[in-house]
Structure formats: structure tokens, C-alpha cells
Structure 1
Amino acid sequence: MWRLLMIVLFVPMFSWAKSTEMSWLDNRFRVDPTIKQVSFLVYREKASQAVTLVRPDGTKYYAWEHPENVAWYEENGMDIISIENPMPGPWQAIGKITPQNKIKILSNLTLNVDSLPKKLYQSESFKFTARLLQDGKPLVLRDFLNRIKLNVTFTPYLANEKDLVKEARPLAEVLGTFEDNGEDLDEVAADGVFTVNLPINIKPGKYWVRIQSRNGVFLRTVEQDVLVYPSPIRASFTQARNENQSHSMTIDTEAGAIKAGSLAAHIEQINPNKITTVTQAQSDSDDEKLYFDLPNSYMPGKNTWSGWVYATDMATDRPLQFFLGKHSYGVTEPIDLKAAYEARIKAEAEQRKIEEQKKLEIERAEARKWLWIYVGLGNLLIIVLIFSAIFGWKKVNTMRKLKAAAPKSEKLSMPPPPKV
């Protein structure tokens, strides 16, 4: 009986001290005065409304209405609420929460971010990591880590940016998103280490770099200023003139920027049949340039090439990698000059024949047009003559009838002259 009492009294206390996970007791939980930042994972019934969070003084926080020191992430069956400088004392969550659900309190979270090199190069890319810690130890709570989205943004640097109105401030550009999924450059999934392959695809200049939560799960922002310099690498691809030659690639560097002998290249060519050919090369120990040949499949159609150049920065001994982009070049069928000349002569003759035929048809059409005009005029003249003849004949015939119908006058004879 005494052992059972000891278990009942001390096991819950021990469990709370080790896991920071507690069952709901009237949906209440206490925040210690030493806590400067806290996150709550609230598990609720599926398809239920987000909980209402009540401060110790009775102030209510909602998913759609809360102060700036509160970040609220809501999804089906879960709320993640992060608060900076929370009020000490008993808090309460009001919502559809079952007895089986628990609350997980994450306190004193910090975001530890690698320091960016003070000197970056345009078009380079590198592995960049950030670590989420709780009380100085890696946070490995998968439900929380899977929902954190951290962006890396670059904003053109202005000394008085905060004094400008919002519309006049320079726009931030997102260059990458951290992942903790064990893919690409991330080594282990859900280990609290976030990784991004950061491409510096921006113009040279001075920038503010900010790492911050994209979806509001985590209230932390890390800032750093960096300088982006023009790329010290210049790559030139020269296409072969015929099938008996190889393509060539030249990698040139800015004087004094790249360590001699550190150049290496990885080039991939894809022909029209989607077959990939990989070529790798590296410079000699004293060379600051790299020249090498590339295979020439001489396959007609659209061909592409892309690749990476690896080098070491002269000043800082920092390893560098530059993506050369994706480029295309075309290959046409070999040309038989004699056959092409004969084909051109034949085509020109066919064209002249077609043009002459068209001209002849036009002339024939013009002749037919005038023939029909002449026929029409002749017919019209004949019709006019016929009608004129009929009209004249009728007129003569009428006059004859009138003359025949007139009464004949008696012929008067003159009396003989008198005899004297």
C-alpha cells in the first residue's frame, strides 16, 4: 500500500520534469515566470474550431485576433501557438479537447543559425544550416518540426530602412527555404537541424539577410548583413564546327580571387535522344584557368549542357561552387553542296515554270474576258439592228396601209379654151 502511494505521488512529478508533456486538467496549464518564450501544441478534435486561449488576467486570444507577440498556426486537429514574453500564471485553452489529448509546452526555444560569409559571390550556392534548440539542446519533436517553414530572404541594404514608409522600403527576395526532411543536403530528418542549398541568384551589392518563420509557427528572426560580389568565374562553351572535332569548355577566373589549382568542373550533356554524357576535369596545381574538351555526339537536333564549377576562395580559403545554368545548342544535318546546288537549280526551274504557268493562265483569263466583252457587244449590236429593222419595217408597212386606205380624188379636166 505504501509503495502504491509513493508511485501515485512521485511518478507524475517525475514525468512532468522529464518530458514537458502533461495531460489536460480543466484545460489549464501554468507558465513559469522565468520563461521568456513558449510554444503550445494543442491537440483537439478533428474538424473542430481553433481553441480560444485565455491569459491569467482573463484576456482572450483567438487564431484570427491576437497581439504581435503571438504567432498562431492552425490546422485540422491541432493549434501551435508561440508567445514571446508570456504572462506568468495559469493559462486556459477553451475548445473541443478530449481527455486523451495532451498539451506540449516548449519553452526557451532558440534558433541557432550558421554565420554567413561576409563575402558572397553572385551565382554561387552553398549549404546553410539552422538549429532549433530548447534549453540549449536540439528539439526533436516531430509534430512541431514538420510544421516549421524557415525562409532565407535577402533585402537590399539601406541604413535608414526603418525610418522609411512601408511603400518606400526595398522588397525582400526569398532565396531558399530550410528543410528538416532528410532530403537533398539535409542529413537526418526531424533532428532539429534545418538545411538549405542556398543559391545567390541576385545582383551584387550589400544586403540584409533574414531567417524567419514563413507560416508563423515560430517567433524568431535572425538578421545579418552581407556583401555580394560579382562572380569570379567565367565559363565559355565553344561548339565544334564538324563531327570530327570536339566541343570545348574554358573556365576563367578573376585575378587574385580564386586559389590556383583549385578549379574543378562537372559538365552534363544531353543529346536529342535524352542520353546524358558526364565530363569531369580539374586544373593543374599552378593553373588559374581550366580548359578541356567535351564529347561531340553530332546528333542533329537540340542538345543541352549544364554543370558546376568548384573552386576555393583565395582570401578566406572557403570552398565555392557555382552553377553554370542550363544552355542549349543545335546541330543540323550534314549538307551535300552539289546536291544542294542541284536541288536549288531544280527548285528555281520549278518556280519559273510555276510562274510562267501562272502568267499564261492570267493572259488566257484576260483574253477570255475580252472575248466575252466582244461577244457581248456584238450580240448587243445585232439585237439593236434587229430591233431597228423590225421597227423600220413596221413603220414602212404602216405608212403603206395608211396610203392605201386614203380615198382616191377624181381627176378634173380643164375645159377647152373658147373658140374665137
Structure 2
Amino acid sequence: MLLWVNGGLANEQDARWLSNTFRIDPSISAVTLFIEREAGSPSVVLIRPDGSKYYYQRHPSNINWASTASRDVITLWQPEPGPWQATGKISEQRGISLVSAFSLRLEPLPPRVYQQEVIKLGAELVYDETRLDAAYYLDGLSLTAQLVGQRGTDEDAFTQAPQVIGVFADDGTNLDEYPGDGKMTAEVIVDALPGRYLFQAQTTNRVLARTYEQELLVYPMPISLRFSTPGAEGNWQLTIDADGELLPDSLVVAGELSNPLGQTLPVSGQGRVITLPDARQPGNYRWQGRAFATTRDGREIQLNLMEQVVRVLPPVVAASASPVKEPPFWLTLPYLVGGGVGLLLLLSGVGGLIWRRRRRATGQRPG
């Protein structure tokens, strides 16, 4: 990288020893300064060619200034041509670096993106067709991927806030392959409803103001899941229904199933039907994982299967007919006594009626 230092053309290494003075050419419309300081020292003071000074806390609107414990990153828009100088406890090991023109490059998203699709994206900052050293230039800065919902009609009263769906990193973790090589990588999960969006990748501060944009149409989730009812022994299955955009024999599922006891078991399989661990306890079972498939146009895709809760009920036990129990004798005694008395009264009444009829038949008068 080339820059003007003390009136002459010098490389970045020479800039450390020349009084921290640099010259801005009249053709430069914007320039970004990376100034390394001793740890814990205050921000530098920037001196213009006319001798006036700019400070981190006080500067005009055509300057964007970010300051950390050991670095100042300053972007000058339409800077005054001539010699500039930075004063402060500037590091002798790194000094001042200038980038006059750089761009953000990003791998384009596929033309057809699905809801909950997982995509690996790479990005890089490029100066004069050379990838910048992310370990230095992007230290303390971050690059995010986000979706901005687009209005469907003019009647929409509100516009949704941008939704962050991924963060780029160059640390050799997750999907990033090599740390500090300038190639930033993000795992983007398209966690959004189907519809039209504007995809953006941009820095999260105003100094390195670079943005990548792409119109995006998110299609509905191409698969759905169905859980069968566990049998008497607890055996059950997961069935995957795929739409016509996927090759049915290409489906592979990997995930985890947690039972009501908090035990988690790995589950994987190929095809539309996956056998699950037996559901031996009633309660809530939690499933989450990912599906891998091939589209009919040959693109390999990965889909995030969000957590689903399936409630397994205990088996239904048929109620058996219970025998009728005889009540205790002492409970039936009043009924027996009452019934006997009533029977005696009835018999005596009938007997008296018969006796009177016989007396009338023989002509006897009652005495």
C-alpha cells in the first residue's frame, strides 16, 4: 500500500519514522487513517495543512472518527490537499496507515433462497485488488449481514427494522477456515417469513462505511415434519414431507431429541422416515436439528429445523367392571323391620276383610 509521507512517496513501513506526517494528494476524495497508539493513551490530535486542529471529541461533520484504547480510525471526506500530521503517543511498531480507496466484496447469495436456509458467506475488504489484512484493519470493527423488509404495498404504514441474520468473523472459528487471512466468513440463517427483502452486509460503525446490497426473494420452507403417535412400547417416527423443489432421496437429517427427564439423544437418518428413540415417559419431547438436501437444479442446501415440542400423553387404561358389593347387614336392618311390619299389617287387613264377608254369607250378625 502506498501513501504520501513528508512530501514524498513512501511505503507503509517508512511512515513510522517520519514525524507522523503524511501528504494527501488533490485527487483523493476520501481517505481512512489507521493510527496505532500506545495502550491506554488518549486519542491523537489531527493537524490540517493550515495548522488548525481536529480532536476526537470535536471535529466537523465530514470526518468520521472511532477511537479504542489503542487505535484511532479516522475517515476524511473531501480532505484538504497538502501535508497533514497526527500528534500523540503513536506506536513505533505500526504508526500510521492510510487507505484511500477500498471496497467490500461479498459472495452473492443464491438466486433462490429458502426460509430457515443456512448459507456460508465470505466477505473481504479490498484495496487496489488486494485483500486487506483483517487482523489489523478490522480489529475492533465488525461486519454484519441483515435483511431489510420491503413494502408490499403503498398502504403499509410501518417498515420493519433490519434483522441481523449473521456476523462475519476472521478468527478461524465456526465456518471461518483460517484466522487472520482477511477472508471473513459468516453463517447466515435466513430466519424470516417468505417475501421480498433487501439483503445488506455492512460495517456496524460509521468509519468504514461500506455496504453490499442484493435484492432477495425468500421462498417458503421446502420441508415439513410430522411426528407419529408412540405405540404401546413407545416406538414412534419422524416423517419428512418435501416439496417438488427437492430430490426426495437426497434428504439427510441430523439433530437431537430431549425427553421429559432432560436426557438428550442424537438422532440422524436418511430418507423421509426417521426412527426416533422410544418415548418411554409421558411428557414434553423437544426436537431440533438440521436437514440436508439437493434441489432439482443440483444445489446442495442446508435447512435449520427450529425447536419443536411434542407432548406425549400417558397410555389410556380401560376401566374394568367392578362387582356390586352387598351393603352391611346393619344398614339393611331398618328396611327389613319396616318391611316385616308392613307385611303383617297387610295380611291382617286382608284376613279381617275375608272374615267379615263370610259372616255376611252365613247370615250371622256381628255380636
TM-score of the aligned structures, taking structure 2 as reference length: 0.74
Residue of structure 1 aligned with 2:117, choices 104, 124, 129: 124
Deviation of the 1:301 alpha carbon: 4.9
Q: 1:67 to 1:184 in 2, by over 3 A?
A: farther
Matches within 5 A, 1:362-401: none
- SS for the counterpart of 1:298 is coil
d(CA) in 1 for partners of 2:23, 2:76:
14
Partner of 2:337: none
Q: Which has the larger radius of gyration?
A: 1
Which amino acid is the alignment partner of residue 74 of structure 1?
S
Q: Distance in 2 between matches of 1:88 and 1:303?
A: 68
Match of 1:95 in 2: 88
Worse overlay, 269-278 or 215-224:
269-278
Trace 1:276-287 onto structure 2 (pairs within 5 A).
276-283=264-271
Relative distance call for 1:199 and 1:48 in structure 2 (3 A) is same
2:246 corresponding residue in structure 1: 258
Instruction: Report the CA distance between 1:185 and its aligned residue.
Output: 0.7
Residue matched to 1:193? 183
Match of 1:269 in 2: 257
Query: Displacement, 1:120?
Result: 1.4
Aligned-partner residue type, residue 328 of structure 1: V
- Aligned to 1:142, the other structure's residue is in SS state helix
Partner AA of 2:305 in structure 1: L
* Mapping for residues 19-418 of structure 1, pairs under 5 Å: 19=12, 22-23=15-16, 25-33=18-26, 35=28, 37-57=30-50, 60-66=53-59, 70-84=63-77, 86-97=79-90, 102-140=95-133, 142-158=135-151, 170-242=160-232, 244-255=233-244, 257-283=245-271, 290-314=272-296, 316-331=297-312
Q: Which amino acid aligns with 1:233?
A: I
Give the 3 Å change call, closer, same or farther, for CA 311–59 of structure 1 in structure 2: farther
Question: Do the aligned residues in 2 keep the contact of 1:24 with 1:103 (CA within 8 Å)?
Answer: no
Change (3 A) 1:306 1:206: same
More strand by share: 2
Which structure features the higher share of helix residues? 1
- Distance, in Å, in 2 between the alignment partners of 1:126 and 1:313 is 14
Distance, in Å, in 2 between the alignment partners of 1:299 and 1:275 is 11
Partners of 1:282 and 1:137 lie apart in 2 by 44
**CA, structure 1 residues 299+117, in 2 after alignment: closer, same or farther (shift >3 Å)?**
same
Shift of 1:142: 1.8
Give the 5 Å matches for 1:5-24: 16-17=10-11, 19=12, 22-23=15-16
Count of equivalent residues: 315
The alignment's C-alpha RMSD in Å is 3.4
Mapped contact 1:21–1:103 kept (Cα < 8 A):
no
